[in-house]
Amino acid sequence: MTAVLPETPAVDRDGVPHYRLFIDGVWVDTDTSIPVVDPATEETVVTVAVAATEHVDAAVAAAERVHESGIWRNTPPAERAAVIDRVIAAVSMRMDELAVLSAKETGMPLRVAGAIGVGFPLVHMGHYAQLTRTYEWERSGPVTGQVLSASFIRKEPVGVCAGIVPWNFPALIAVWKSIPALAAGNTVVLKTDEKTPIFALELGALLRDAGLPDGAYNVVVGDGPNIGGRLVEHPDVRLVSFTGSTATGRQVMAAAASNVKRVVLELGGKGPNIVLDDADLDAAVDGSIYAFLLHAGQACESGTRLLLPSAIHDRFVARLVKRLRTLKQGDPLDPATDIGAVMNKAQRDRILGYIEKGKAEGATVVVGGGVPTGPEFEKGFWVEPTVFTGVTNDMAIAREEIFGPVLAVLKYDSTEEAIKIANDTEYGLSAAVWSRDNQRALDIARQLEAGSVWINDFHNISQYLPFGGFKQSGTGRELGPDALDEFTQDKGITVDLSGDVSRRAYGLVLGTPPSAE
């Protein structure tokens, strides 16, 4: 394992930036390097070193050493928050550059990359810094008088936390996995998806420059089963926070049982988006498009099942299709672009496979249904925004997460039926209700089985609210007022103040103490 320590995470290699792993505060090159490919152009954005299992072991060993040393966990919370503040200041200086890198790495339009690739990470880091300052790290428990004792409840770090990050929102999810863990005094090994490693590695330099001890934050880049798998099985890892598909989440949960690791799982979704007959139709049409089309549908909380009352179905669909036709798909770096590319060939082919399945199941494509044509789309991986009508909730396109720009429209005839269809899924991440009657919408929202429910909105993931799934969309929560709870463990300490052995419970074992002679 060769380690070098230049200032920046990337070095120039034949005119292309080359990123290395970040282990124990240094950049580590490996024998294998792969290109990070722009989904819109198929050009190499950067290259990145890929880890072997020995690198995972080295990263965990560094994180474990720092945890044991106490250098970070004993740093006062206000100083830990100050480290996060310095990262925020440094990212703020580089917003434009990081947004472009994010757009090139993920295929998101620049507008979206600016918001989700940089803006949200900044805001969410600010939330974690604030929580770190106000969190009740230690509070008093009961003081008892019968046998005089005092007690405390302490929130302590868990130890080495593994964060596993998918490719769809790599910067934001890298922040969710690492910053609250570090804020709580843990050490971190992050595994990023090898297709989208840039922000997590940049964060290594930012945290180091902000004063985080070497080894407290480490990044390995590599494939899921070997590199992610090694991390999840590693006996010194105490907690795994995983974001990805439900299928992989199940494997992670099973593997984490080996040494009873804590797990936070943020998994897939099939969000129902219910329009009521009294909705503001302009708002609901735009909102329904936003719900399924953000990042070309590659968002776990997307609203991919649109539930329309039969009475307004045809009118609503006509308006939705008309509005969709005004959107511009193409070059993510063009500020006028609304819809970008999908991640890679495998993802495109998977989405197209679902579109074929939808047709075969008897649903009707009312717009889209294939790959857009024209010179802009000769390179890269593209799928047209696609809307199916005539969908029933038993079809694969209504049940399975497609993770692409595909909307399934379902009809309903009563509110009860809408709620039943909405909840008839193994997923439970997100849902929305559109109505002019807030009380009516709220009554429905209460009955929806989902971790996030929006009324007259979608994708509004607030740092002030917990985010996570019901049912097979996951377990545990990110963000919200209790975000640090996931990364701490409670310790109760009792101090006997009585000075009177005879009053304690020792007699349960020792019987009546012999009289003093």
Interaction site with ligand NAD (CB under 6 A)? 164-169, 191, 193, 223-225, 228-229, 232, 243-245, 248, 251-252, 266-269, 300, 401, 403, 429, 469, 474
Judged by DSSP in three states, 445 sits in helix
From the CB of 330, what's the least distance to ligand NAD, in Å? 24
- CA 103 to chain CA centroid, Å, is 18
**Look-up: residue for tokens 């940089």?**
118
- Nearest position to ligand NAD, beta carbon: 224
CA nearest to 426, candidates 213, 292, 268, 202: 268
Nearer to ligand NAD, 109 or 268 (CB): 268
Q: Which long-range contacts (CB under 8 A, 24 or more apart) does 114-117 make?
A: 116/169, 116/171, 116/172, 116/295, 117/169, 117/171, 117/172, 117/199
385 neighbors 367 (Cβ within 8 angstroms): yes
Pick between residue 106 and residue 435 the one whose CB is nearest to ligand NAD: 106
The answer to whether 256 and 407 have CB atoms below 8 angstroms apart is: no
Closer by beta carbon to ligand NAD, 220 or else 317: 220
Single out the residue of 488, 462, 490, 448 nearest to residue 303, CA to CA. Answer: 448
- In the complex, minimum distance from the CB of residue 249 to ligand NAD, in angstroms, rounded to a whole number: 7
Closest to ligand NAD by CB, 251 vs 498, is: 251
Q: How far is the CB of 114 from ligand NAD (least distance, A)?
A: 19
- Closer residue to ligand NAD (CB): 200 or 279: 200
Using DSSP's 3-state secondary structure scheme, residue 246 falls into helix
Q: How far is the CB of 440 from ligand NAD (least distance, A)?
A: 28
| Angle between the N-to-C axes of helices 120-134 and 170-183, in degrees from 0 to 180, rounded to the nearest 10 | 10
Supply the DSSP string of 358-394, one letter for each residue.
HHHTT-EEEE--S---SGGGSSS-----EEEES--TT
DSSP annotation string for 51-117: --HHHHHHHHHHHHHHHHHTTTTTS-HHHHHHHHHHHHHHHHTTHHHHHHHHHHHH---HHHIIIII
Catalytic: 266?
A: yes
Among 299, 339, 338, residue whose Cα is nearest residue 461: 299
Q: Is position 161 annotated as part of the catalytic site?
A: no
Task: Compare residues 276 and 293 and give the one whose CB is closer to ligand NAD.
Answer: 293
Cα separation, 349 vs 463, in Å, equals 34
User: At closest approach, how far in Å is the CB of 412 from ligand NAD?
Assistant: 25
Side-chain-side CA neighbours of residue 444 (13 Å): 28
Looking at the Cβ atoms of 267 and 450, the one nearer to ligand NAD is 267
Kindly state the tokens that stand for 463: 């740092």
Q: Which is nearer to ligand NAD, 264 or 276 (CB)?
A: 264
When the beta carbons of 39 and 228 are compared against ligand NAD, the nearer one is 228
SS (H, E, C) 132-200: HHHCCCEEECCCECCCCEEEEEEEEECCEEEEECCCCCHHHHHHHHHHHHHHCCCEEEEEECCCCCHHH
Pairing assessment for the beta strands 16-19 and 44-50 based on DSSP bridges: parallel
Shortest CB 189 distance to ligand NAD, Å = 12
- Here the tokens at position 212 are 């985080």
Of 178, 199, 172, 198, whose CA–CA distance to 59 is shortest? 178
Pick the closer one to ligand NAD by CB: 102 or 435: 102
Smallest distance, ligand NAD to C-beta of residue 316, A? 26
Q: What CA–CA distance (Å, rounded) separates 322 from 325?
A: 5
The least distance separating ligand NAD from the CB of residue 243, rounded to whole angstroms, comes to 5
Q: Which of 202, 300, 478, 486 is catalytic?
A: 300
CB of 252 to ligand NAD, least distance (A): 5
Element (H, E) at 415: helix 415-423
Quote the radius of gyration of the chain (alpha carbons, Å): 25
> Given 64, 105, 194, 266, which residue is catalytic?
266
Which among 296, 452, 455, 302 is positioned nearest to 384, based on CA atoms?
A: 296
- In angstroms, what is the minimal distance from the CB of 212 to ligand NAD? 23
**Residues designated as active site:** 266, 300
